[in-house]
Structure 1
């Protein structure tokens, strides 16, 4: 069996100390802030629309354009972080994101607000890749897995805690401003920590002459058009809409040309050749579908209870907290397991997928009488399975990467992450619409056949409402079963990943002497 040995740290790495640890904490907080800035306004979109007098269609554009900005920034952020220095570039992106948050509650024009939201997504999207690159660059081998566990929290903690935060901020018109301002307190703390802790380094401006500017000119509009096409596809019925055809067609061609340009360029923004390594190419493919499946954790139950029971966010905060709060320690628990010599990350990864699949199976037993409490055990299984799967994946992928290759990996994995999250939302939306329509037609046909042979019952006036409710229940059950199947299908590819032994941590000199 082939083994991939954990790479040794590259030369000239800064000495890891408390000051650098605080700087990395600042980068983590900034990435968490970016995640909340994406999720919180989206969850409270109905309240924002009501405050600004926007239609449903206009509201969807605010979320779509923010996601497009995030996706555009992902492949390029790490390169610019090196070129202009990590501390300088990170602070400029973080402060720009917060500056836009300050003015957004006072913008009454929809088109201006949409443009600002696109820019804010661009600034926020640059913060997350910088976290992974910094973790791979600065953290010593003895704690690097814990750093990757912290990065995993941006995918497992922020999106889930956002449900609780959005509920708290959407209670009245005054607090609605804080749907945007909530990034400022945590962002200011993050900025102070980054300024203090991250080493100051001179910009590498000669790199500007080497950049793949043609590729960037293709990639920026290509990724943006793709994101908008995916985000609006369900609402506009995909290829039935000429606009979606144009967005996906042109965006796909430009993105393909961008990838070809990156492959051929001597100094690319993302080094696609690295995907030939099994744990990166196959591993990141698994990661893409894992992100799609992770949408079953909170977004589907929230949507189901909102539709079936008419619940508002404040009545469903437990759904997010059950998954979100354990992430504060679950990632480190997984990291500790991966440091054990007897642990095979592939089998632990499989356990995580199995727990998530079991959680989806339990949720698929939903009925029209389910409340928040009935989702408890399925949420608990998601809370355990998600960090196991994500941290194991990051370990298996980054263990075949040298520290100075971190920026390339960060760009690739975060682009996949943004695209997977977008497609996950679109997949859930389309599957919900299709299965609801299917079950509604089937129930109507059965009801019509029964009524043709039997007298109408007294409750016939409520038949339409009953059919609508039961169709939604059956569609939700189908979604959970589809995600369960997807998670189980991912297990064989995970077992095909290259085995990576536990990192060998050098013993302290005193221990060696003894």
Structure 2
């Protein structure tokens, strides 16, 4: 069988089952990125660690995952698509069992590193499978399904994880992977048809490139994840790691452009659509992960929602994505890839702009429209971006390019969340200062507010001094809440402007021509 199914060749039932098994395995891998996010406190308490130490359960997985993603293309060329995926899935399942049996915070961190490595191999291979297993006329519809799988998993991860932890135990977050993992690895191994491994590539092992990738991406993810907590460049560790990031990035670029057999082939960026598609995917990563993170900050800190209430709001985009699948397919067929993407970018920006006018009373009813619109826009954007980025490349280049393409989304999410964290700290401090200036106790209006708050406290105490202190404390809480609310609105508008700028890049996108 050739690398790409031909138009005349019927797709067997086994191929469909094998591909859907890969989709299920990738859903499982992406889900595990976020499923422990809402249960870190419970895991840390069970293993006798602090919440800061427990946060590394999440960080270790993400760093390992991001390091492996760009290596998956080279490994798939060496071991073949199906053998690498089956191996990655069975090892992912094995280390899921190890995580469930962890006895200390150190042990679960080590197991999560290996779990993240093998999850990182599975994610880009699903994109590669689209172009390896299906003829061109089916690739667009299959891409829609893959996009749904990749995008919906992070939206339900924290909610599902919190429910499992509260209902059963945090160990079931990992045991949940065992049965599906065994089914997926077996199905892929026996049902997916692809060219045999090319073990000769292993003799041309670019170990220098792999080491530089690990150093560059590992340090970059640490800086992005821990920079805000360490006051960025006020920390000597962050400064040192940032220097390592810049140096290793330069060395990696030089190595991969001069090496005869690079582990990641950067020549794919010569294709304008691939380069633009990676930029769009970076922006979509920021929009997907950044908007989800910012919405969680608003709901938890401004609205004081619990995890189930937050999950209810965060499920809306996922449901909208599933419902919109046939509509997006119709748009793509009738209007074309570029027009569909342009409409999606506009809708995404509009949904963000609506959020920029939230108040402290904004709840589920008011958030339903922008959340649903954002889910619809994600489907309108992500499927065309995938087709634009990978659809023009030669078949033999897709394996490497799909890894780079997947990496862009994760880098966009990581950088976006780091920037949002920094903006939350800076803008909330600025808005707090301005509100304090406006609410000067010497002003008559401010005095009335303090008197009103003090009166509400006076019913609980007969001490007038305590009543006054209670009133001032209530005012302070109100100022903190409003400054954070104003900050969230500012950031929503900033992200909306980013999508407006990305819309202006549409003239650079070329029509997708048949693959050579």
C-alpha distance after superposition, 1:56-115 (max 9, x if no partner): 321332222211101110111122122122222212211111111112233232222222
**Alpha-carbon spacing, 1:320–1:197, altered in 2? closer, same or farther (3 Å):** farther
CA distance in 2, matches of 1:354, 1:401: 27
Deviates further, 403-412 or 291-300: 291-300
Matched, 1:424 2:416: yes
Equivalent residue for 1:484, pick from 496, 499, 503: 496
Specify whether residues 14 and 213 from structure 1 end up closer, same or farther in structure 2 by C-alpha distance, changes over 3 A only: farther
- Listed as ranges, the matches of 1:105-254 within 5 Å are 105-172=100-167, 174-199=168-193, 202-254=196-248
Query: Does 1:85 pair with 2:80?
Result: yes
Indicate the SS of the match to 2:229: coil
What's the CA shift for 1:251?
Answer: 2.6
Partners of 1:313 and 1:274 lie apart in 2 by: 42
- 1:400–1:442 CA distance, 2 compared to 1 (3 A): same
- In 2, are the aligned partners of 1:357 and 1:485 still within 8 Å (CA)? yes
Distance 1:435 1:42 in 2: 25
Alignment correspondent of 1:475: 487
Q: Is the 8 A contact 2:147 2:379 kept in 1?
A: yes
Deviation at 1:164, TM superposition (A): 3.3
Q: Is the 8 A contact 1:348 1:388 kept in 2?
A: yes
Higher relative contact order (CA 8 A, sep 6+): 1
- Higher mean Cα deviation, 125-134 or 300-309? 300-309
SS at match of 1:490: helix
Superposed CA deviations along residues 467-498 of structure 1, whole A, max 9, x for unmatched, are 11111111111121111111111101123211
CA distance in 2, matches of 1:36, 1:257: 33
Answer yes or no: is the 8 Å Cα contact 1:443–1:467 preserved in 2: yes
1:386-422 Cα deviation digits (max 9, x unpaired): 1111111112112211222110111210121221121
Offset, 1:305 = 1.0
Map of 1:34-113 to 2, 5 A cutoff? 34-113=29-108
> What is the DSSP-based 3-state SS (H/G/I as helix, E as strand, rest coil) of the residue aligned with 1:311?
coil
Shift of 1:451: 4.3
Partner of 1:273: 267
The answer to whether the Cα contact below 8 Å between 2:220 and 2:245 also exists between their aligned partners in 1 is yes
Cα distance between partner residues in 2 of 1:487 and 1:43: 29
Following superposition, the deviation at residue 371 of structure 1 comes to: 2.2
Q: 1:429 to 1:155 in 2, by over 3 A?
A: farther
Q: Which consecutive residues of structure 2, in runs of 5 or more, have no partner in the other structure?
A: 454-470
| Superposed displacement of residue 299, structure 1 | 2.6
Q: Distance in 2 between matches of 1:136 and 1:335?
A: 18
Q: What SS class does the counterpart of residue 176 from structure 1 fall into?
A: coil
Q: Are the equivalent residues in 1 in contact too, given 2:48–2:105 (CA < 8 A)? A: no
SS of aligned partner of 1:31: helix
The range that moved more, 190-199 or 374-383, is 190-199
Change (3 A) 1:62 1:335: same
Q: Deviation of residue 316 (structure 1)?
A: 2.1
2: distance between equivalents of 1:316 and 1:163? 9
Once the two structures are TM-superposed, the CA of residue 269 in structure 1 deviates from its matched residue by 2.5
For 1:236 and 1:154, the matched residues in 2 are separated by: 35
Q: Cα distance, 1:454 vs. partner?
A: 6.2
Mapped to 2, the partners of 1:498 and 1:434 lie a distance apart of 40
Q: Match for residue 463 of structure 2?
A: none
Q: Give the equivalent residue in structure 1 for 2:457.
A: none
TM-score for both structures, normalised by structure 1: 0.90
Comparing 479-488 with 201-210, greater Cα deviation is found at 201-210
1:289 aligns with 2:301: no
Corresponding residue for residue 345 of structure 2? 353
C-alpha distance 337-196 of structure 1, shift in aligned 2 (>3 A): farther
Contact 1:316–1:372 (CA under 8 A) maintained in structure 2: no
CA apart distance, 1:302: 2.1
Greater share of helix:
2
